[in-house]
Amino acid sequence: MPRRLAILFLAIIVVIGALGAWNYFRPIPAVAATTSLHTQDTVPGAVPAIRWPSTGAAAMGASGLGLIASSGNEKPVAAASVTKVMTALVILGDKPLQPDQKGPSITITDADVQSYQAALANKESVVEVRAGEVLTEFELLEGLLIPSANNFAELLARWDAGSVDSFVASMNKKAGELDLTQTTFADASGASPATVSTPSDLMTLGMEAMKLEVFAQIVAMPQADLPVAGTVYNVDAVLGQSGIVGIKTGSGLAEGANFLFAATSQVDGHPVMLYGCVMSQPTLARAFAAAKVLLASMQASLHVRRVIARNQAVASYVTPWGGQADLLSTVDVDLVEWPGMILRQRLDSRPLVIDKPIDSGTPEGSEHVVLGDYSFDVPLVTGSALFPPGRLWRLTRINFL
């Protein structure tokens, strides 16, 4: 009997030893980070009551944030000369210029003069040209965007694409890339009533164009000097008022006057570019007045808020063996906000298998932030070191997963 007990005891010891060895050498479990931020928040404050124009339609937005609001009654109508913003965008995409460059020279032909004379006879907005005159790309863009020369739009289109039709195809392709779903271009100048858009689409277009330094430089100019035409003046009569730095007017067609505009502003001490577009206004003067009202509405209701601070703990790793390390933001995140908009955040981090020490400051994932057109990732690093489990924990852990 004692021999049997000894054998049983030995067997138990062997089994316990085997289980202990198996437990010790089992894989270390992966540890997932747990977020400490809300996945969704509403920007605080009452949703502002906007003073939209009494006629036509409008939209407004801000740099980074994108579209803030629209009047809700948008439908595609004639874009008129605001079309030239897309003309300039395509030209500068195909033949880029730096702010200190004038670009290639273009010699005016008899065909260009005939195009000018035909547009003049049709009472369109034009700038005089003469056969043999030499204009640079920069000067042609000045004539296009400042006095709004329809003949310069056609001249640039032929120069860039070989024909106006080919150039218009490029304009519509670019519209598709920018997701301007309510916009159709039928010409390069906007003289055709078949060229249509909405305030929201045109505002998106304006935001894209203003990313180009040369474009922003030209639309902010009150006047320009051209070889034959002499001094030409900006049709934007409110340039410099209410912070307005451009962009483009459009009028002369049956559906009324349009104004796509950008303005600089200080919001809670931060420089912010404001954007808007009004369409189908009775006159350009009414369009200018409506733009100023919308700018005042935006300035009163926009705020800049720090939604994540540098070194803020946005998540943490907690190990089963008692270790812990926060995930810290590496940057401050200041966002332009409009009351009632939804801020969304998502932690993107991989579960860690901590089989060797992980130092403090090690990059481990990101926090994805979305608000309006803001969509970016905030890099995260460990706030303290993480160490593998000790021998005792590995030997005595009781979970069997």
Please tell me the distance from the alpha carbon of residue 154 to that of residue 189, in angstroms, as a whole number: 7
Q: Would 8 be classed as within a structural domain?
A: no
Domain co-membership, 192 together with 167: yes
What pLDDT shows up at residue 117? Answer: 94
**pTM of the complete model:** 0.87
Domain co-membership, 117 together with 264: yes
Domain co-membership, 217 together with 99: yes
Q: Is 211 a catalytic residue?
A: no
Please tell me the distance from the alpha carbon of residue 381 to that of residue 311, in angstroms, as a whole number: 9
User: Which residue of the set 70, 81, 170, 297 is catalytic?
Assistant: 81
Q: Is 356 a catalytic residue?
A: no
393 has pLDDT over 90: no
Per-residue CA distances from 58 to 23, 229, 267, 277, 288 (Å): 68, 34, 22, 5, 12
Q: Could you report the per-residue pLDDT of 306-344, keeping only the tens digit for each?
A: 999 999 999 999 998 888 999 999 999 999 999 999 999
Please tell me the distance from the alpha carbon of residue 197 to that of residue 85, in angstroms, as a whole number: 12
- Cα 2 to chain centroid distance, Å, stands at 84
Domain co-membership, 354 together with 266: no
Mean per-residue pLDDT over the chain, rounded: 92
Residue 240 belongs to a domain with what CATH number? Answer: 3.40.710.10
Please tell me the distance from the alpha carbon of residue 308 to that of residue 317, in angstroms, as a whole number: 19
What pLDDT shows up at residue 252? Answer: 82
- Non-local (6+) Cβ contacts of 3 within 8 A are none
16 has pLDDT over 60: no
Domain co-membership, 31 together with 63: no
Q: Measuring CA to CA, which residue among 317, 319, 313 is closest to residue 367?
A: 313
Q: Could you report the per-residue pLDDT of 249-283, keeping only the tens digit for each?
A: 999 887 899 999 999 999 999 999 999 999 999 99
Note down the domain range covering 368.
27-42+307-396
Q: Could you report the per-residue pLDDT of 23-75, keeping only the tens digit for each?
A: 666 788 889 999 999 999 999 988 888 999 999 999 999 999 999 999 989 99
Q: Would 274 be classed as within a structural domain?
A: yes
User: Which residue of the set 71, 148, 189, 197 is catalytic?
Assistant: 148
Q: Is 148 a catalytic residue?
A: yes
User: Which residue of the set 84, 200, 248, 366 is catalytic?
Assistant: 84
Q: Measuring CA to CA, which residue among 253, 283, 232 is closest to residue 126?
A: 232
In 3-state terms the chain splits into helix, strand, coil percentages (rounded to 5) of: 35, 30, 40
Please tell me the distance from the alpha carbon of residue 90 to that of residue 348, in angstroms, as a whole number: 37
pLDDT band at residue 400 using 50, 70 and 90 as cut-offs? very low
Domain co-membership, 172 together with 247: yes
Please tell me the distance from the alpha carbon of residue 379 to that of residue 363, in angstroms, as a whole number: 7
185 has pLDDT over 80: yes
What pLDDT shows up at residue 46? Answer: 87
